[in-house]
Amino acid sequence: MKIIRGVILILFFAIAMDSSAQQSDEQVRLTAIEFYKKDDFSNAFVVLNNGLKTNPGSLLLAKELALTYYLSGSFEQAARNILPLVERSDADIQIFQIAGNIFNGLEDWKQSEKIYKKGLKKYPQSGQLHSEYGQLLWKLEKPSEAIEQWESGIIVDPSHAGNYYHGSKFYFAAADKIRAIAYGEIFINLESFSTRTDEIKYQLYESYKRIFNPADVKIHYLKKTTPFETSMLNGILSFSHLATKGISVSSLYEIRLGFMKEWFNSNSKTFPFSLFDRMNYLIDNNMFQAYNQWLFGMISNESDHQLWIIQNQDAYRQFLKFQQNNLYRPKKDEYYF
């Protein structure tokens, strides 16, 4: 019994010491961050190097040191620091992200691509790595390979916003309206309050205008149209009569409201789709008009939008509270593209 108690005590102190070391490493990292936030990279290097003397095997501090060299503009030194970390068995996703950015900074595209491939082999479910590798491929003028990465990222990690962002922009540029709309609105609900959100709101508005433009009636798809896309397109076009006076926040509200009601009458069981479930919840709880104002109001007519907010302060405040406090999470089993 005494031996067992002794072993337990040894294990307890070993865990406590390990936890203390980790806590110490994190504190060192945070101190370094405070320095480089003020552009005091010299002191950040001092702090991190001293931390690594105390704990030379710390992945956390070694990773932060490579990142700090990168942020300071010392790309060559950053590369020398990050490459050994990429080969470590405990290399995490951030290691591959930092390494990719470092070699992008050096414009060593071959090495950067090698890094992303290695990272995705180890972490095939990482939406972030798919997103960043897709951006590299786009930069290398390989659009078909880029969209494959973004689509793969959406499939394996549907809650990562970046792949929808890049995918929606890709399909908008390619005049593939339904994917531009679907991916754009999913992105907006995943990342609701950023400069990228405003960019995709405008794109979403323009995508609807394109759908109802008679001169652009022929739909251009880069890939074979799926039954979901056909159903969604036909559902939206069935409300073309509401667009005869042009696309505005008011007409889009009526079109989208009609589309949602029709979708849940005819397609929701065939194609369960969490984005539409969220929109239907907003309809049932009298927040859908506020949601559409939030999406399109500033783009459609800024002065009318501001007047609507003044006249509907409680409704708008209720929607914003919902949007901020109820994070949207797409489901893995609803990829219909």
- pLDDT tens-digit map of 26-38: 999 999 999 999 9
What's the pLDDT at 214?
61
What's the pLDDT at 3?
42
pLDDT-derived band at 215, boundaries 50, 70, 90: low
pLDDT-derived band at 221, boundaries 50, 70, 90: very low
- pLDDT tens-digit map of 63-94: 999 999 999 999 999 999 999 999 999 999 99
The residue assigned the tokens 């302060």 is 313
Q: 17 or 171: which carries more pLDDT confidence?
A: 171
What's the pLDDT at 24?
87
Mean pLDDT confidence for 295-321: 97
State yes or no: pLDDT of 118 exceeds 90: yes
What are the distances in angstroms from CA 137 to CA 79, 116, 122, 134, 321? 21, 11, 19, 5, 38
Contact in structure between 136 and 112 (CB atoms under 8 Å): yes
What's the pLDDT at 20?
43
Contacts of 143 (CB under 8 A, 6+ apart): 137, 170
What's the pLDDT at 60?
96
d(CA 90, CA 81): 16
State yes or no: pLDDT of 304 exceeds 90: yes
Q: Euclidean distance between the first and final Cα of the chain, in Å?
A: 62
d(CA 287, CA 317): 10
- pLDDT tens-digit map of 227-273: 999 999 999 999 999 999 999 999 999 999 999 999 999 999 999 99
pLDDT-derived band at 176, boundaries 50, 70, 90: confident
pTM of the complete model: 0.88
- pLDDT tens-digit map of 49-63: 999 999 999 999 999
pLDDT-derived band at 4, boundaries 50, 70, 90: very low
The residue assigned the tokens 């709880």 is 285
State yes or no: pLDDT of 105 exceeds 70: yes
